[in-house]
Structure 1
Amino acid sequence: MKIDWIDKLRRGLQTIAFCLAIASIQYAFRPDHPFEPPLVYSLCIGICTWSFIDFGSQLFPSAQISGWPTGLAGKLLPVAGIALGYLVGTSLADWYFGWSSFANASRQQLILSGLISAIVGVVVTYYFFTQGKNTLLEKQIGEATRLATDARLKLLETQLEPHMLFNTLANLRVLIGVDPQRAQDMLDRMVAYLRATLAASRASNHPLEREFDRLRDYLELMSVRMGPRMRYTLDLPADLANLNVPALLLQPLVENSIKHGLEPKLEGGSITVRAQRAGSTLTLLVSDTGVGFDAQTALTDGFGLVQVRERLAAAYGEKGSVERNSTPGQGTTVLLHLPTNTNTA
């Protein structure tokens, strides 16, 4: 079994702290005696007991939930460790001072000393046991939370993909009857887009550069249908290209811009998608020059914006936010604020 030396060091230092506290308590009750003897005996007995129990636990199969040996070994290990720790620790301290506690101390003193060591050993062992159990449980909770978040993001992505696909197929069906050549071009674009989408769907997040590549495929697909009525600009600074973001984060916003902004406007308009960073915050902007919304309509989120809010909440919690501004006749702007120092994997 692999030994976690950092964890061992942490428990060893905690044991030393317990020993110093016990020695200080003993000295407080007998201030007329030197501090060195209780300090040395406490350290020797405590460190030996901890070593026998902590390293001894590595020799037996352990329960996954507690990290403690199972069966009879788990019950006998503390008893044997405390007894051996007391005997070996006392012998080491005797050797340091050049006397023999077992030979010179009275029976009552030996019983009292052993009883104190046993009580302290049980308390400290139980403390380490519960601490280790809590640590493992926290790790399991964190792993479960991560898996639940990944599952939620995947679910949201499967909801968004059909939403876009059905809209595109409906448009393609109409176009086949009126302009077969444009329909063929649109179908080729859709195949290229779906291939890129399939590759991206294997991960819950990907570099921002790949997100912009998918947007370019999608916007080219929409350009076949809308022609000169739609223009677009994608602005991604090179230093932001490798930042990770949830997959399929921006497309529903672009789709909203086309469906609710540009399509209802006779002359169409333009869409701008831009990434910029200020300190530790990444801001993603999706803006259109479409019909816009009035104040009352702007208060209600559509399907795409609801999904984006949920994806940000699942990936970043309260650190991610969405801001939308719209002016009737002038267009709509959506700003996504994401932390750049958080891994969404």
Structure 2
Amino acid sequence: MNAPPSRREWPTYVGGTVAICVVVGLLNYLLRGGQFWHGMLYSFTVGVQISACISLLTYGLSALLRRRQGDTAELRHGWVGWGWLMPCIVVGTLAGYSGGLWLGDLITGGRHFTSWQSADRRLALSVAFTLLVSVLATWWFFSLYKINRSRIERVQAERQAAEARLALLQSQLEPHMLFNTLAHLRVLIKLRPDEAQQMLDRLIEYLRATLQASRATEHALADEFERLSDYLALMQLRMGERLHVRLDLPPDLAALAIPPLLLQPLVENAIKHGLEPHVDGGELRVSAARDGARLVLEVADNGAGLTQATGLPGAGFGLDQVRERLAQRYGNAARFTLQPQPGGGSLARIEIAS
């Protein structure tokens, strides 16, 4: 109540104001009698104007104090302290009370505003009761407001921590991919220098296109497949006809956002531990599809198989990266599985709930 509510806070703010006006209207009817709807109308005209006056006064005061005393967390929440707040409540209550009586008289044709100008014991009790309600309502609204803001700040802090963790995981992943590629290049230089030169040119193009994009927290699925296509072109230079590639990306899924290099470790794992040890090589298939409300990403190969692949050094790094990044980004909304295929090879599958 001390600072303008955000869009999410409006339902609580408005609902609380309405509830207070209804309760005060009912109490006034039970204690003083009169016409029920007239009493309820005055309760709303007075209550809404008091709420608006106190909010405007405290918000203006908090903005002034922020300029003079500095930008503190409490002042950002609109809390100016009870020493400053009490005068705002008194002035706001008196202004809202008189304005509410005037508006109620204007609607009903009554004469309550006239009695406000005369000294009357019942009027003094009514004003005192209204002041008490204003103090309690202000305390209640600010308590709810502060709890909600604390929750929002906690969620933002958790999100920033998750993004920092993703950035760290990604920074670990990029050198891992680069070292694997350079290791392949080192072997190729000794065996086939001309092809090594072509691979080096491809690597330079790949790094130029990938490094800048990989600094983002997410990119389109189409960009992920494009980066995979560049990487697989490098691997085909090394493996030649032993490596067959198939990329399946439906056009309606191309714009979906995913973390950069999410599929890269699975592709590297399939080639290094599945297809390269296989004498005849094999086929690598990367696909995206919809399964109800879930996005399904698969990396499949028909190479050495799951048992042999997972037992080799380095195989666990990429898989752990994928699991950790999915957990940090999506929580329980994502699932990763790795299983053998009936005809040989392995299937890595990522499911992300939309």
**Residue 45 (structure 1) aligns with:** 46
Query: What is the aligned-residue RMSD (CA, Å)?
Result: 2.9
Unaligned runs of 5+ in 2: 67-71
**Residue 325 (structure 1) aligns with:** 339
1:3 and 1:318 map into 2 onto residues whose CA distance is 35
How big is the shift at 1:247? Answer: 0.5
1:293 and 1:27 map into 2 onto residues whose CA distance is 78
User: Is contact 1:12–1:47 with CA below 8 Å preserved after alignment?
Assistant: no
**Residue 214 (structure 1) aligns with:** 227
How big is the shift at 1:91? Answer: 4.7
Q: Please report the TM-score for the alignment, with normalisation by the length of structure 2.
A: 0.85
**Residue 80 (structure 2) aligns with:** 70
Secondary structure of the residue aligned to 2:306 is: coil
Q: Does 1:284 align with 2:286?
A: no
Unaligned runs of 5+ in 1: 341-345
Q: Please report the TM-score for the alignment, with normalisation by the length of structure 1.
A: 0.87
Q: Does 1:293 align with 2:293?
A: no
Secondary structure of the residue aligned to 1:302 is: helix
1:70 and 1:39 map into 2 onto residues whose CA distance is 32
- AA aligned to 1:239 is D
**Residue 175 (structure 1) aligns with:** 188
Deviations 1:292-337 (A, max 9, x none): 1249969x98111111111111111110111221158710001111
- AA aligned to 2:174 is E
- 1:211-290 alignment, distance < 5 Å: 211-290=224-303
2:141 and 2:192 map into 1 onto residues whose CA distance is 75
Matched positions, count: 336
Q: Which moved more, 1:129-138 or 1:240-249?
A: 129-138
**Residue 81 (structure 1) aligns with:** 92
2:18 pairs with one of 8, 16, 19 = 16
Deviations 1:248-274 (A, max 9, x none): 000000000011101111111110000
**Residue 335 (structure 1) aligns with:** 349
**Residue 125 (structure 1) aligns with:** 138
Q: 1:212 to 1:90 in 2, by over 3 A?
A: same
User: Is contact 2:274–2:309 with CA below 8 Å preserved after alignment?
Assistant: no
User: Is contact 1:294–1:327 with CA below 8 Å preserved after alignment?
Assistant: no
Secondary structure of the residue aligned to 1:141 is: helix
User: Is contact 1:294–1:328 with CA below 8 Å preserved after alignment?
Assistant: no
- AA aligned to 1:187 is L
- AA aligned to 1:41 is Y
